[in-house]
Amino acid sequence: MKFISTRGDAPATTLSGTIAAGLAPDGGLYVPAEIPRFGVDAFAHCRTLPQTAARLLAPFFADDPLAPELETICREAFAFDAPLRALATPRDFVLDLFHGPTAAFKDFGARFLAACMRRLPRDSDKALTILVATSGDTGAAVGAAFAGIAGFRVVILYPDGRVSPRQAHQLGCFGGNVSALRVAGSFDDCQQLVKQAFADAELRERVPLSSANSISLGRLLPQMAYYAQAALAHWRGTQQPLHFVVPTGNLGNGFACVLTRACGLPIGQIALATNANQTLHEFFAGAAYTPRASIATLANAMDVGAPSNFERLRWLYPDAAELRREFRVAAIDDAAIAQTIGSRFRSHGEISCPHTVTAIRLLETLRGEGADGDWAAVATAHPAKFDRIIEPLIDTKVPVPAALADLLARPGAALPLASDYPALRDFLESGAPGTV
């Protein structure tokens, strides 16, 4: 399959080409030139997540040098499950995406991207530096996915003091070829520093750079697999489509759900829950699309004021009126997040992370309006990553899953970095670990 730019002004390329390039040369995002269509029968022999993933992604990999490796890549990336679990309220489910090594759904995309990138041919014998700005979970997932892989170095920038203490610990604990820099600034400052590095042609001569951000199709496409797997299992049991509510920041996970439905999988309605960052909510309420700086909320991994994958949604739904009719979008503020964490625990004994409860809250609203059928809220992170927020609200300890406990048991050390480009450039040039 060929991939084209949302802006229509870049040559079509292969999947490997898009993974190596990140952004298309015209500044747009890569999208598939055509959308494959599947019936449920196409998955008759697929039972496990890696099998479903390999079947679903085969058309996207067709003609690519990575195609012969797709099954191996899927087994390597999808080494843990994404179970659909019933909630206490009838016909409500959660899709648990936090069973990976860093306890957030970002593990699926990061591990798939790493599995692809380590198999791509390289034109330099220098280590490739994956430079990533993170508002919380991406950096840890990318660090975990590339840790110890020869030929790669990971440099993570995060806003000091604006990620949860456990997220910060995780980011600093990999060591070896992974460095975490805590930046005196906001997430937007971190992104700005990363952009400056990518724009620095002289630096890139000496230090080959690559990104792993959520616009990469190497992260986006694998996120379709768990929607397909959950919807197919539900269809086999009930002959009914499954509806989803997706906690949304940059819209990568939400767009993956939309694309899976476009491929013909039995997914019904899709609703998007954001935190108090209003950009999407205002657009869907009829206002012009107005990206802006993000504000800090309890659901920090969704603190996004300019959702990068919105451009892909517009490509799929060029008619704004149709787009607005198609998706229900709600902005859930911190008061509602805190209230929902408390009330779900008191009424049902359920504990969810602040991101996941934005979706559960929207699902409660939809049910209140009479929505029927089976709905799944997407659980994007394990609540134990956000113990400092959750425990005071429920007055109970959140149990820590084994994979997260392993990471937290290691010493964590992030280096301080001024929010200042020369400081980052010097660090990148300072022969840090990972040179091959």
What is the binding site for ligand PLP (CB under 6 A)?
Answer: 104, 106, 136-137, 214, 247-254, 301-302, 355, 380-381
How big is the chain, counted in residues? 436
The nearest distance, CB 107 to ligand PLP, in angstroms, is 10
CB-nearer residue toward ligand PLP: 217 or 251: 251
CB-nearer residue toward ligand PLP: 106 or 111: 106
CA distance 316 to 173: 40
* Position 363, amino acid: L
* Position 239, amino acid: Q
CB-nearer residue toward ligand PLP: 61 or 187: 187
CB-nearer residue toward ligand PLP: 207 or 337: 337
In sequence order, what are the residues at sequence separation of 6 or more whose Cβ sits closer than 8 angstroms to the Cβ of residue 371?
Answer: 243, 269
In sequence order, what are the residues at sequence separation of 6 or more whose Cβ sits closer than 8 angstroms to the Cβ of residue 255?
Answer: 220, 309, 312, 313
Beta pairing, strands 84-86 & 92-96 = antiparallel
CA distance 434 to 436: 6
CA distance 133 to 255: 21
* Position 396, amino acid: T
CB-nearer residue toward ligand PLP: 32 or 254: 254
The nearest distance, CB 283 to ligand PLP, in angstroms, is 15
State the DSSP code for 400.
P
The nearest distance, CB 253 to ligand PLP, in angstroms, is 4
The nearest distance, CB 53 to ligand PLP, in angstroms, is 18
CB-nearer residue toward ligand PLP: 193 or 302: 302
CA distance 109 to 225: 10
The nearest distance, CB 272 to ligand PLP, in angstroms, is 8
Helix and strand numbers (H, E) in the chain are 19, 13
Sort 31 into a burial class: Cβ within 10 Å, 0-12 / 13-18 / 19+: buried
The nearest distance, CB 248 to ligand PLP, in angstroms, is 4
CA distance 128 to 207: 7
CA distance 379 to 376: 9
CB-nearer residue toward ligand PLP: 64 or 137: 137
The nearest distance, CB 360 to ligand PLP, in angstroms, is 13
